[in-house]
């Protein structure tokens, strides 16, 4: 097992200078609030917990990082990047980020909205005509092998795509969508009816894939090029892309799948890449993604480079779907995913992130107003503006939300919060 040394940033202490006595009002300079850090004991506790997770809980590899606004305060790599080849996990190991692509595409969408390319409440069909005049399923008769539809009451808006209230759904997490596939034989989800009228319910979906198409159409630049030139290069995300070049292939981690209570390891393919999509497909490292999250934590700016306005970041981090709440997504393929997410039944959605509701906040876990999402292979992140931190924990195994992976994720989060100091 590899064990990479971790470190933390000490708060910067500013010494107060003596000022001469004055007869009038004196302006008092106050030192900026100290950034959160992790104690030495906390580093040891996190280290021990993740090592135990790798040894005892069936999680072959973990790379984890925590950062405050100024930089990384914890990092570690554990287990094997490739078990079969005996290659240790590294801090710069490259993971399939899958749906952790979605927040990045959401940022790209808001960048164009800031530039006046479109309004958030515009019908997306103004720019992608194929999205006009959608039908909505109203009844499914599985026995007869038919489903019935009616015209959607309204067009899908860009805001609804950002909040997953478009009526689109993934079949692996929506029995209605899976039933329509079973009846029709149609595999392209975009050719099937919506599962709800736009703006009436939250369904995890490929809505962000549509946003990727929107970004490319409106900007006139392919999505991968837009993300590279407008987000990755400015933020210094040097290892994030839709494909991994040959010289970096040796850093790509393998994926494990649960088969008959055993983990089966898949080899890294000769060509690493899964196509350019707004809702998935990116590969990257924990260090790259933590830079993206620090940009969000800093109100849209990182190291002097501004990506988004503070106002747009505020939209991303506050409820943008009214009284609608995040609902449990019921798996139709238990080998791929269990039911998810944590916080269903209370949490809301901003423009790209799940937002923690007061009812979901728990002691030693994330605070109200925290933001989060994940990727199908159990890559997870969260940001806690109240505590002033962002964190990623990257694994690479199926099913999504499997017991061992979730124990690692939630145990890590708990120990991070228990050991933060200012």
**pLDDT one-digit tens code per residue, 295-349:** 999 999 999 999 999 999 999 999 999 999 999 999 999 999 999 999 999 999 9
What is the rounded CA–CA span in Å between residue 94 and residue 317? 27
Look up tokens 């901003």; give the residue: 350
Q: Output the pLDDT for position 261.
A: 83
Give the model confidence (pLDDT) of 79-116 as tens digits. Answer: 999 999 999 999 999 999 999 999 999 999 999 999 99
Specify whether the CB–CB gap between 67 and 391 falls below 8 A.
yes
Helix ranges restricted to H, 238-321? 286-297, 310-316
Calculate the CA 99 to chain-centre distance: 6
Query: What are residue 64's phi and psi, to 5 degrees?
Result: -135, 145
Across the range 411-421, mean pLDDT stands at 97
Query: In this predicted model, which residue has the larger pLDDT, 379 or 54?
Result: 379
Structure token digits, residue 256: 């494990």
Please report the sign of the dihedral spanned by the C-alpha atoms of residue 248, residue 85, residue 95, residue 62. Answer: negative
Structure token digits, residue 220: 């006139």
Specify whether the CB–CB gap between 115 and 309 falls below 8 A.
no
pLDDT value at 5 more than 70: no
pLDDT band at 32 (very low <50, low <70, confident <90, very high): low
pLDDT value at 16 more than 80: no
The C-alpha angle with vertex 366 and arms to 364 and 369, in degrees rounded to 5, equals: 145
Spatial CA neighbour of 207 closest among 362, 309, 321 = 321
What is the rounded CA–CA span in Å between residue 222 and residue 281? 14
Across the range 191-211, mean pLDDT stands at 98
pLDDT band at 384 (very low <50, low <70, confident <90, very high): very high
What is the rounded CA–CA span in Å between residue 157 and residue 122? 5
Helix ranges restricted to H, 150-190? 158-163, 175-184
Whole-prediction pTM: 0.92
| Range from 55-59, 364-368, 375-379 carrying the lowest mean pLDDT | 55-59
Q: DSSP secondary structure string, 267-288?
A: PPPSSEE---BTTB-EEE-HHH
pLDDT value at 11 more than 70: no
pLDDT value at 15 more than 50: no
Three-state DSSP at 344 gives coil
Q: Output the pLDDT for position 55.
A: 79
What is the rounded CA–CA span in Å between residue 240 and residue 286? 10
Compute and round to an integer the Cα radius of gyration of the chain: 22
pLDDT value at 8 more than 50: no
pLDDT value at 1 more than 50: no
pLDDT value at 20 more than 50: no
In the beta sheet, which residues pair with residue 379? Answer: 375, 394
Question: Which positions ≥6 away from 18 have C-beta within 8 Å?
Answer: none
Specify whether the CB–CB gap between 108 and 280 falls below 8 A.
no
């Amino acid at each position: 097992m590899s064990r990479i040394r971790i470190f933390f940033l000490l708060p910067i202490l500013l010494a107060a200078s003596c000022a001469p006595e004055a007869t009038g009002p004196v302006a008092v300079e106050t030192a900026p609030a100290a950034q959160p850090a992790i104690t030495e004991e906390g580093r040891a506790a996190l280290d021990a917990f993740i090592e135990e997770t790798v040894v005892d809980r069936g999680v072959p590899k973990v790379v984890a990082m925590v950062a405050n606004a100024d930089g990384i305060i914890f990092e570690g790599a554990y287990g094997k990047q490739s078990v079969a080849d005996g290659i240790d996990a590294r801090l710069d190991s490259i993971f399939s980020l899958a749906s952790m692509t979605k927040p990045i595409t959401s940022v790209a969408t808001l960048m164009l909205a800031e530039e006046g390319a479109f309004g958030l409440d515009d019908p997306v069909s103004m720019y992608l005509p194929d999205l006009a005049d959608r039908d909505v399923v109203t009844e499914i008769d599985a026995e007869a092998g038919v489903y019935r539809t009616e015209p959607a009451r309204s067009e899908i808006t860009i805001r609804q795509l950002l909040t997953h209230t478009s009526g689109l759904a993934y079949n692996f997490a929506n029995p209605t969508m899976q039933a329509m596939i079973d009846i029709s034989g149609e595999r392209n989800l975009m050719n099937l009816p919506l599962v709800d009228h736009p703006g009436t319910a939250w369904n995890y979906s490929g809505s962000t894939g549509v946003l990727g198409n929107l970004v490319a159409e409106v900007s006139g630049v392919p999505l991968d090029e837009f993300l590279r030139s407008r987000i990755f290069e400015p933020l210094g995300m040097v290892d994030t892309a839709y494909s991994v070049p040959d010289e970096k292939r040796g850093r790509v981690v393998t994926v494990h799948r649960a088969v008959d209570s055993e983990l089966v390891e898949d080899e890294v393919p000769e060509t690493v890449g899964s196509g350019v999509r707004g809702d998935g497909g990116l590969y990257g490292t924990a260090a790259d993604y933590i830079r993206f999250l620090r940009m969000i934590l800093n109100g849209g700016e990182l190291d002097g480079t501004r990506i988004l306005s503070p106002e747009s970041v505020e939209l991303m981090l506050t409820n943008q779907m009214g009284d609608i709440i995040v609902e449990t997504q019921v798996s139709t393929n238990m080998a791929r995913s269990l039911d998810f997410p944590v916080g269903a039944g209370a949490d809301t959605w901003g423009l790209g992130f799940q937002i923690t509701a007061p009812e979901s906040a728990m002691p030693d876990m994330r605070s109200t107003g925290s933001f989060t999402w994940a990727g199908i292979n159990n890559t997870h992140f969260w940001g806690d503006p109240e505590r002033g931190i962002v964190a990623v924990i990257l694994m690479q195994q199926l099913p999504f939300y499997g017991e061992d992976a979730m124990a690692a994720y939630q145990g890590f989060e708990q120990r991070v919060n228990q050991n933060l100091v200012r």
